[in-house]
Structure 1
């Protein structure tokens, strides 16, 4: 679970609610017609703009933001190093036995096992990267549109409230409460846009960048394996995708080469590939 996302949205809503209760009567911030205008109008306009399937995919992706951890590029680098060792010991054909949750890594290993050319591997994996960016962009665009529509419908609700208020100017005592109700829809629209829709779109964009980095590591690692580079050369090429402080030490026999200034970095090697005959190499979750 991504606790940063969960903590962010809970703390944001909690602080706003606390400020409302500390400011006095919280009942004045509840207006059902205003919520209907903002929430219903935003959803209706979004459905009118994009396909229904894109909307459902967007909400599924939003759920993933809170339930799935970020992918770790260091783990992918470790996996590609293990695959490099396997290819040197047993040949490229052995990579066809790789089992992985990442369909891209599995496909790349199959291409290596089939002795595909460098250009074929590069083009295939680049197409995977481009299609992933396109799919994720359509999902992010749904929340960006909702983030734009919500304040607009909030303003629309305010105008409706002002019209109703001005129609009752003969009764001055109702002007103040009516004005408060009219402004609530603007509050609802701004709240949904700034606390929910736009932050989710931003988080999905960050996830896309992380996944693209992993796919680029797979692509460059496969090219290095194909050209029969030593696994230390593979590491040197792939380490550039990480900040220097996060690069993990790599062992060379009994010696250890540390390319990081402090030797820090992400721990663990999910999906470590084994070179034994009875154990298949495994990749990380993709």
Structure 2
């Protein structure tokens, strides 16, 4: 089930707030305007957009908004419920045969589980089922890698264009060496592009890319559990064996929680 990942917007907002607080605590509220420079913003943002247009196709760039939105969403995986699902399917398959699972699997929301169980019902060999499901995982990883590369490249280009803006500012500053009073302000404006580029890269693009990579790892991990469960059901393993095989994927905390839950059920 997808829900809002509140940590992503909180992290971005907190990061900008701390930067703003550091500026205000040293320069005051009135001095905050010194850190806002439209030409510097245009160099960084314009250069970033241009570099992305060169690097990717229009079709790929259309995915950028969707990819960034994904970093604001989280998917909850209930491992205990997943294990119970396969234990139930295994019990029914041993009692009534694989064909009896056709009605059961229709109630399963996860299309990956449905696909695996339906392949088992159709009599597909175990090795072929594993190959088909692993191929789907590989395709998923490749799609996610391409989407993540949009944020990775944006994270690379933003500070680079910040440095380019700084170099432009330094050239303009050196052309006015005959006016010493302007050197300090011009140097400050030149460095703002580096600040903008570094903020965009290290507070927006790269953290979002990292969040997406972690979500991909979690999704692949869950699909690997599903494959083990499908093979257990297809081969007619004892439901207890299926449960024990899948429980090895649980962390110590999840195992303790499952044990407490089981103890509470026994007491009831």
TM class, shorter-length: 0.7 to 0.9
1:209 matched residue in structure 2: 217
Q: In structure 1, what is the equivalent of residue 266 of structure 2? A: none
Gaps of 5+ in 2: 263-268
Aligned to 2:143: 135
RMSD: 2.0
Q: In structure 2, what is the equivalent of residue 244 of structure 1? A: 252
- Residues in 2 aligned to 1:206 and 1:105: alpha-carbon distance in whole angstroms: 22
Q: Which residue of 1 aligns with 2:69?
A: 63
What's the CA shift for 1:120?
1.4
* Residue 245 of structure 1: how far off its partner (Å): 2.2
Stretch of structure 1 that moved more, 193-202 or 234-243: 234-243
User: Which residue among 23, 28, 35 is the counterpart of 2:34?
Assistant: 28
**1:232 matched to which residue of 2?**
240
Superposition map of 1:116-265 within 5 A: 116-247=124-255, 258=259, 263=260
Give, in angstroms, the shift of residue 264 of structure 1: 7.5
Q: Label 1:249 to 1:178 Cα distance change in 2 as closer, same or farther (>3 A).
A: closer
Q: What is the DSSP-based 3-state SS (H/G/I as helix, E as strand, rest coil) of the residue aligned with 2:195?
A: helix
For residues 249 and 193 of structure 1, do their structure 2 counterparts lie closer, same or farther at Cα, with a shift above 3 Å needed? closer
Change (3 A) 1:45 1:73: farther
CA distance in 1 between partners of 2:45 and 2:78 (Å): 36
Distance 2:137 2:116 in 1: 13
> How many aligned residue pairs are there?
254
CA shift in 2, pair 1:217/1:190, >3 Å: same
Question: Mind listing any 5+ residue stretches in structure 1 that lack a counterpart?
Answer: 251-257, 266-286
Aligned partners of 2:35 and 2:45: how far apart in 1? 15
User: More helix by proportion, 1 or 2?
Assistant: 2
SS in 2 for 1:68: strand
C-alpha distance after superposition, 1:141-167 (max 9, x if no partner): 111111111110000000001111111
SS in 1 for 2:63: helix
Shift of 1:44: 1.8
Alpha-carbon distance in 1 for matches of 2:168, 2:198:
17
Distance in 1, Cα, partners of 2:138 & 2:17: 39
Instruction: Summarize deviations over 1:185-204 as a string: whole Å, max 9, x none.
Output: 00001101110011001000
Q: 1:115 aligns with which of 123, 128, 146?
A: 123
Deviation at 1:206, TM superposition (A): 0.3
The secondary structure found in structure 1 opposite 2:24 is helix
**Range with greater deviation from structure 2 (62-71 or 236-245):** 62-71
Residue 39 (str. 1) matches residue 42 (str. 2) = no
Flag the 1:248–1:58 CA change in 2: closer, same or farther, 3 A: farther
Q: Kindly indicate whether the alpha-carbon contact (under 8 Å) linking 1:93 and 1:112 is maintained by their aligned counterparts in 2.
A: no
TM-score (norm 2): 0.88
Shift in Å at residue 223 of structure 1?
A: 0.4
Moved more, 118-127 or 69-78: 69-78
